Structure 1
Amino acid sequence: MASTWKLSLLPALDEQRWHLPAPLAPGCLSQEPAANPLPEALLAVLGRRGFTSPGQIGALLDPPAAPAAGRHFADLAKAVARLKRACGQGEQVAICGDYDADGMTSTALLVGVLQRLGARPIAAIPSRMDDGYGLNAAMVERLAEQGVALLVTVDNGVSALEALERAEALGIEAIITDHHAIPDPLPPHLALLHPQRTPADSPYRGLAGVGLAYVLASALCKSLRRADGLKIALDLFCIGTIADMAPLVGVNRRWLIDGLPELGRSPLVGLQALQQLAGLDDGPLNAQAVGFQIAPRINAVGRLGDPQLVVELLTTEDPDRALALARECEALNRQRRELCSAIEAEALALLEADGPRRPAFLLLAQNHWHHGVIGIVAARLVERFGLPAALLAGEGNGRLRASVRAPRGFAVDQALQHCAPLLERFGGHPAAGGFTVRADQVAALHAELEGLAQSWLQQSGRGTPVEPEALLGLGQVDRDFLGQLQRLEPFGIGHPDPVFWSQGCQVASQKLLRGGHLQLELVQGEHRLRAMGWRWQGPANLPARVDAAYRLRLDHWQGQERLQLELVGLRPSASEANCEGEVVLRRRDRTYWCRRAGSGLVVRNAAGHELSSEEAASHDHPYVRALIQDAAIALGLVA
Structure 2
Amino acid sequence: MLPALDQQRWHLPGPLAPEGLCQAPADSPLPEALLAVLSRRGFNSAKAIAALLDPPAAPPAGRHFPDLAKAVARLKQACSQGEAVAICGDYDADGMTSTALLVGVLQRLGARPVAAIPSRMDDGYGLNAAMVERLAEQGVALLVTVDNGVSALEALVRAEALGVEAILTDHHTIPDPLPPHLALLHPERTPPKSPYRGLAGVGLAYVLAAALCQSLKRADGLQIALNLFCIGTIADMAPLVGVNRRWLIDGLPGLGGSPLAGLQALQRLAGLDEAPLDAQAVGFQIAPRINAVGRLGDPQLVVELLTTDDPDRALDLARDCEALNRQRRDLCSAIEAEAIALLEADGPRRPAFLLLAQNHWHHGVIGIVAARLVERFGLPAALLAGEGQGRLRASVRAPRGFAVDRALQHCAPLLERFGGHPAAGGFTVRAEQVAALHEQLNQLADAWLQQAGQGTPVEPEALLPFAQIDRDFHRQLQRLEPFGIGHPQPVFWSQGCEVASQKLLRGGHLQLELRQGEAGLRAMGWRWQGEANLPGRVDVAYRLALNSWQGEERLQLDLVGLRPSAGGASGSDEVVLKRRDRTYWCRREGAGLVVRNAAGDELTSAEGSSHAHPYVRALIQDAAIALGLVA
The TM-score with structure 1 as length reference comes to 0.94
Counterpart residue type for residue 67 of structure 1: P
Query: Does residue 220 in structure 1 map to residue 212 in structure 2?
Result: yes
Q: Tell me, what secondary structure is at the counterpart of 2:257?
A: coil
How much is the aligned-residue C-alpha RMSD, in angstroms? Answer: 2.1
Match of 1:260 among 230, 241, 252: 252
| 1:411-430 alignment, distance < 5 Å | 411-430=403-422
1:406 to 2:398 alignment: yes
Paired residues of 1:471 and 1:635 also in contact (CA < 8 A): no
AA partner of residue 187 (structure 2): P
| AA aligned opposite 1:69 | A
Residue 165 of structure 1 aligns to a residue in which SS?
Answer: helix
Structure 1 residue 495: Cα displacement: 0.3
What is residue 277 of structure 1 aligned with on the other side? 269
Deviation at 1:223, TM superposition (A): 1.1
Is the contact made by 1:594 and 1:604 (CA closer than 8 Å) also made in structure 2?
Answer: no
State the Cα distance separating 1:30 from its structure 2 match: 4.1
Asked if 1:71 corresponds to 2:63, the answer is yes
Where does residue 564 of structure 1 map in the other structure? 556
Within 1, Cα distance between the matches of 2:249 and 2:546?
20
1:315 to 293, 307, 317: 307
Amino acid at match of 1:482: H
Measure, in 2, the Cα distance between the counterparts of 1:23 and 1:259: 37
Summarize deviations over 1:145-195 as a string: whole Å, max 9, x none.
101010000001111111111111111111110111111111111111111
Match of 1:52 among 44, 53, 78: 44
Q: CA deviation at 1:584?
A: 2.4
Report the residue type matching 2:226 in the other structure.
L
The count of aligned residue pairs is: 626
* Aligned amino acid, residue 397 of structure 2: R
Counterpart of 1:11 in structure 2 is 3
CA shift for structure 1 position 36: 4.1
How much does 1:616 deviate? 7.1
The counterpart of 1:501, out of the listed 493, 496, 501, is 493
Return the alpha-carbon distance in structure 2 between the equivalents of residues 407 and 611 of structure 1: 37
1:351 and 2:334 correspond:
no
- AA aligned to 2:585 is T
Partners of 1:244 and 1:432 in 2: CA distance: 13
SS at match of 1:575: coil
What is the CA–CA distance in structure 1 between the aligned matches of 2:85 and 2:615, rounded to whole Å?
Answer: 71
In the aligned structure 1, how far is the partner of 2:31 from the partner of 2:193? 30
**Aligned with 2:379 (options 377, 384, 387):** 387
- Check whether the contact 1:585–1:593 (CA below 8 A) recurs between aligned residues: no
CA drift of 1:525 comes to: 1.1
2:624 aligned partner = 632
Answering whether residue 178 of structure 2 is matched by residue 186 of structure 1, we say: yes
Tell whether the 8 Å contact from 1:424 to 1:438 is kept in structure 2 after alignment. Answer: yes
Pick closer, same or farther for the CA change 1:367–1:32 going to 2, 3 Å.
Answer: closer
Change in Cα spacing, 1:161 to 1:276, as seen in structure 2 (3 Å) is same
Code of the aligned partner of 2:564: P
| Displaced runs of 4 or more, over 3 A | 580-583, 585-590, 600-606, 609-628, 635-639
Conserved in 2, the CA contact under 8 Å of 1:29 and 1:53? no
SS in structure 1 opposite 2:151?
Answer: coil
Pairing 1:516–2:504 present? no
Report the equivalent of 2:123: 131
1:452-467 correspondence to structure 2 within 5 Å: 452-467=444-459
2:575 is matched with 584
Offset at 1:634? 2.2
Check 1:343–1:581 CA distance in 2 against 1; reply closer, same or farther (3 A cut): same
1:283-294 correspondence to structure 2 within 5 Å: 283-294=275-286
With over 3 angstroms needed to count, the CA separation of the structure-2 counterparts of 1:603 and 1:254, relative to structure 1, is same
Determine the C-alpha separation between the residues in 2 that align with 1:605 and 1:400.
57
Q: What SS does the aligned partner of 2:540 have?
A: strand
CA contact (8 A) 1:594 1:631 kept: no
Match of 1:61 in 2: 53
| Contact 1:602/1:610 (<8 A) preserved | no
Structure 1 equivalent of residue 587 of structure 2:
593
C-alpha separation in 2, matches of 1:194 and 1:169: 24
Quick check: 1:551–1:565 contact (8 Å CA) kept in 2?
A: yes
C-alpha displacement of 1:614 = 6.6
Whole-Å separation in 2 of the counterparts to 1:604 and 1:389:
41
Give matches, 1:204-219, under 5 Å: 204-219=196-211
Correspondence list, 1:21-100, <5 A: 21-24=13-16, 26-31=18-23, 34-100=26-92
Residues 56-83 of structure 1: CA deviation (Å, up to 9, x unaligned)? 0000000000001111111111111111
Measured in 1, the distance between the counterparts of 2:224 and 2:402 equals 39
Kept after mapping to 1: 8 A contact 2:575/2:627: no
| 1:534 counterpart = 2:526 | yes
Alignment partner of 2:503: what SS?
A: strand
Kept in 1, the 8 Å contact 2:609–2:620? The answer is no
Unaligned runs of at least 5 residues, structure 2: none
Q: TM-score, normalised by structure 2?
A: 0.96
- How far off its partner does 1:415 sit? 1.0
Cα pair distance change 1:49/1:79, threshold 3 Å: same
Q: For residues 475-506 of structure 1, give each alpha carbon's deviation from its aligned partner in whole angstroms, at most 9, with x where no partner exists.
A: 11111110000000000000001000001111
Q: Distance in 2 between matches of 1:626 and 1:107?
A: 51
- What's the CA shift for 1:583? 6.2
Answer yes or no: is the 8 Å Cα contact 2:92–2:294 preserved in 1.
yes
AA matched with 1:429 = H
CA gap of 1:619–1:292, structure 2 versus 1, over 3 A, is closer
Q: CA deviation at 1:456?
A: 1.0
Query: What's the secondary structure of 2:498's corresponding residue?
Result: strand
The Cα of 1:624 is off from its aligned counterpart by 7.5
2:325 to 330, 333, 353: 333
In structure 2, relative to structure 1, the CA distance for the partners of 1:620 and 1:459 (3 Å cut) is closer
- Could you tell me how far 1:231 is from its partner in structure 2? 2.8
Q: Give the C-alpha shift of residue 448 in structure 1.
A: 1.2
Q: Aligned AA for 2:523? A: A
Residue 605 of structure 1: how far off its partner (Å): 7.5
Counterparts in 2 of 1:602 and 1:169: CA distance versus 1, 3 Å? same
Gaps of 5+ in 1: 1-8
> Does 1:443 pair with 2:435?
yes
Aligned to 1:197: 189
**What is the match of residue 475 of structure 1?**
467
Query: Deviation of residue 602 (structure 1)?
Result: 4.8
- Cα distance in 1, alignment partners of residues 628 and 396 from structure 2: 37
Task: Confirm or deny: 8 A CA contact 2:2 2:525 kept in the other structure.
Answer: yes
- Partner residue, 2:160: 168
Structure 1 residue 113: Cα displacement: 0.5
Q: Does 2:247 match 1:249? A: no
When residues 490 and 192 of structure 1 are mapped into structure 2, their CA distance, relative to the original with a 3 A threshold, is same
Distance 1:165 1:84 in 2: 24
